[in-house]
Structure 1
């Protein structure tokens, strides 16, 4: 009786969430290798033409050249600066329309300029709004609706998927030891009917991907639900005290320097000479600061640091190193790398890719089983 109830829960929740789970899973598998594919596509734009014995221009000069390259109505939103001297800097301009319903209306503009740090030449300009992987990302994130509408749909579908994984494991569990050998094999003989083939695909693939699929789903829920994010933080940190947030303020009355941005960058590079990249966000008003997000390792984000500099003097006002963060903060910062498998390197990304494809197949095989069983019942009535 309990298994019958669980079966009905599994069936109807699967039918309710199947389309969303399929879309989220298939887009997730497509996005896993986005950095590697983009690096290949944009290789000529990423790597700089480095003249012999020529020093890079000042950051202030590069900022001005990037500003000239953008249309007049587009401001610089942030810049990615790399410690690797072979790489160009990437300046971004981004603005959104919060009243729009869909992705294409929500993003007013999203442009990237690859700038040679030695010559100041614009190597390439990309419209990120129409970039394939950005569309895939927002389809995965919110079904191409604005976040406030689309992400709750994705979040609840993901929560349902977690329930489906658990109820599916209960239904899969063999009744006896003798039956174990039959639940790890997909029977594909000519004598095997299509229902049985779908049954084996659904159950066997679901079992082998269970743990990885559960981890991917739970890390997805961290972004979808604030209450779940808080629960993960409390469980890891062992405290309900929220993480420390630094809110430094620039003081217009301080001594001004010619290029506070260059001074700030020099300090950041001195402190983190072995970091992969720095993401620099300019001040938004007269009292805000220059924010530096320091990415310690290339390709992953779970080790990062934050720096805040006075926009007039370039003096360091606040710093937060990775080592100073508690276990809850570190786990939340690692969430993206766990979700994509990047935390385990290339093997982890391959695993995430395969598991996402399997997750996308589960609603299809489940639906086909239900459709064939329903069709058989209808046929038997006549």
Structure 2
């Protein structure tokens, strides 16, 4: 009965792996690279990310937006990022077409360019460059990968306890077939726990059911923020003035943020997010406005976070390994490399068995 059960699990593991192996390989490699996105940008893009430090105040969001509108007429702002922690960091304004970096002291354009290779890497990781279709394929491939990790653990566990120690080591002096088999089994075992965390935190972004599970286990409901009844502005200011007023009002009322970002969301919402110093769960205050007139709709403050909100605030840093600093990133990168190797070593195992099977028939 035990052998038959394992045979069924082995067949499920095999065919699911053959069906999704290429997707898992692509998502793993791109994830491994993007873990160090901040470090790569800091090392290769200093000329666009920073200007010489000066004893001058921030020029203001309104001046930056007016300059953007002159430089890129007709382009709609998708995101604005201000690094409050480093006064000489350029301010990033992104549209669908390009990203623009402005001097925070005088508002002049420092650099403009299309989305770079790191942006493409992230897009491959999330959508396979196939839009909504790619998102669908990617998220369900990760669901299948979770099933494969669990089934792989079942297959790894030896029938006899005395063989457990043997199953924890790679026999480097063995044949290529043996070494490849051990690389698949042993490395897969060691990385399985970390890969389950990375996979589940990735699925948190994709499925409301995963968020509901977090709510269930924490005994709390994920909050969208407190609704705020505020009067509509009598006079609707131009975009630059409107954004600047929101920025100044919110940063003065909630000071100390490391970074501030505007992003335009689906449905006409403008999200203003401030991130503060934190150790584990991200301390962030998020405000939602009507993008057309600047009316405050709702606010979500980190001081009001419940259990489910804390899970959400921790999720990204846990997914990328940032939660544990450089060490966490290195572990996440190593686990992702092992994840990318599993479809390759698994395919070799299957090809070897197929070749052996054909020899028997002949």
TM-score by length of 2: 0.88
How far has the Cα of 1:293 moved from its partner? 0.7
- The aligned counterpart of 2:166 is 182
Residues 318-327 or 298-307, more deviating: 298-307
Cα distance 1:311–1:361, how it changes in 2: closer, same or farther (>3 A)? closer
* Deviation digits for residues 177-224 of structure 1 (CA, Å, limit 9, x no counterpart): 3212211111121xx222211111011101110100111111122223
CA distance in 2 between partners of 1:273 and 1:196 (Å): 60
- Cα distance in 1 for residues equivalent to 2:295 and 2:195: 46
Aligned to 1:337: 317
**Residue in structure 1 matched with residue 234 of structure 2 by the alignment:** 253
Q: Once the two structures are superposed, what CA deviation does each residue of 1:55-83 show, in whole Å capped at 9, x if it has no partner?
A: 3323322221122122x220222311121
Deviations 1:324-379 (A, max 9, x none): 12211221232221111111111111111000000111111111111111101211
Which residue is equivalent to 1:371?
A: 351
Cα distance in structure 1, aligned partners of 2:293 and 2:361: 83
2:287 partner SS: strand
SS at match of 1:268: helix
Could you tell me which residue of structure 2 aligns to residue 68 of structure 1? 70
1:220 to 2:205 alignment:
no
Aligned length: 357
C-alpha separation in 1, matches of 2:181 and 2:266 = 56
For the residue of structure 2 that corresponds to 1:183, the secondary structure is helix
Q: 1:360 aligns with which of 336, 340, 348?
A: 340
Unaligned runs of 5+ in 1: 95-108
**How far apart are 1:290 and its partner, in Å?**
5.8
Instruction: State the TM-score, normalizing by the size of structure 1.
Output: 0.84
Measure the CA separation in 2 of the matches of 1:89 and 1:144: 27
Q: Give the distance between the partners of 1:2 and 1:157, measured in 2 at CA.
A: 24
Where does 1:53-92 land on structure 2 (aligned, <5 Å)?
53-70=55-72, 72-83=73-84, 84-92=86-94
Distance change >3 Å, CA 202–CA 301, structure 1 → 2? same
Counterpart for residue 22 of structure 1: 25
Provide the residue aligned with 1:99 in structure 2: none
- Between the aligned partners of 1:312 and 1:372, the Cα distance in structure 2 is 62
Give the 3-state SS of the residue equivalent to 1:86 in structure 2. coil
- Determine whether 1:133 maps to 2:118: yes
Name the residue aligned to 1:293.
273
